[in-house]
Amino acid sequence: MAISTDSGYVLVTGGTGFIGSHTVLVLITQGFRVVVVDNLSNSCEEPLRRIEKLAGLSEPVPFHKVDLGDRDALRDVFRRYPIASVVHFAALKAVGESVQKPLAYYRNNVAGTLNLMDVMTEFAVRNIVFSSSATVYEAVYEGHPLRETNPLGCTSPYGRTKLYMENIIKDAVDAEAGWNAIMLRYFNPTGAHESGTMGEDPQQIPNNLMPYVSQVAIGKLESVHVFGTDYNTRDGTGVRDYIHVMDLAEAHVIALRRLAENNGYEIFNLGSGTGQTVLEMIHAMSEACGRVIPYTLDPRRPGDIDTILCDPQKATEVLGFTVRRDLKQMCADLWRWQQSNPNGYSS
């Protein structure tokens, strides 16, 4: 089934989360009809209200509180709407927590995807864009950015769930004609909507660097912990590839449109292709907020490596996707969100 703005609804799973909500906004502003499902285990409905305001909607975004583990509830959504395609974000996503609670991650992420694919098959919906992760790659850097052909080898249960979810989708595509699926493996999303009304809202102490840095900047946390200062990098701290959440959201919509070309199963890396050290990210955020952000130098964490970069060439050549927002804008937008919403959406 071709994907267009008038061919049916796009179901967005996990659509109230950080990346999911920004993607919902872009989909709606580009004319797609969207229905959102989320179990709200690590989010709330408030992003949908803000999407409605930003997009100038006169009616609420269709939303159903559904856990993908509940197949009957998911079926009810498919019965209610003429769904043409799915953008699948719904997953637990904290690497550290996945080490402590691996079975919960397998149950939620892998079993949830199985249920989703089963229900899609039942209702003859065979177009899916999957929110994957660079954590599926081997954590080895040999001087070259990661390409889609790099060896796979996850170092956490979270990463393994993402890889298993990819494999489930690929096997379905291989087994039955008519399926079209795109895996988007992205690196480190940050930033916020330029209005400052939508952004990342960690329910606990942030696991990722930039939400942590922004909470130190606003005074909620005391100091940024910099793990490792003896890496083979410009300043001894680890280098990572960051991408603005709005660039990432737009990439999902580009991928959704590509499904109409009936290419079967495809994989794309999403990143900037350039890297910043931990200290460079802290200093960039300091410039954005106009204050010195304190940090503490700590020992390395087990498993961390010097550098992880994305090679975005395939996404550029095939999808026509390139990032449009630089580090300065990432930090400015993130600070605008944090300053306007010091307690996230509960502000």
Catalytic residues: 158
Cα dihedral 73/248/239/195 (nearest 10): -100
Record the tokens describing residue 193, joined without a space.
């909507």
Q: What is the phi-psi region of residue 135: left when phi exceeds 0, alpha when psi lies from -120 to 50, beta otherwise?
A: alpha
CA distances in angstroms from 21 to 33, 259, 331, listed in the order given: 14, 21, 19
**Given 3-state DSSP classes, what are the helix, strand and coil percentages for the chain, each rounded to the nearest 5?**
40, 20, 40
CB 308 within 8 A of CB 141: yes
SS3 63: strand
Residue 150's CB is within 10 A of a number of other CB atoms, namely 18
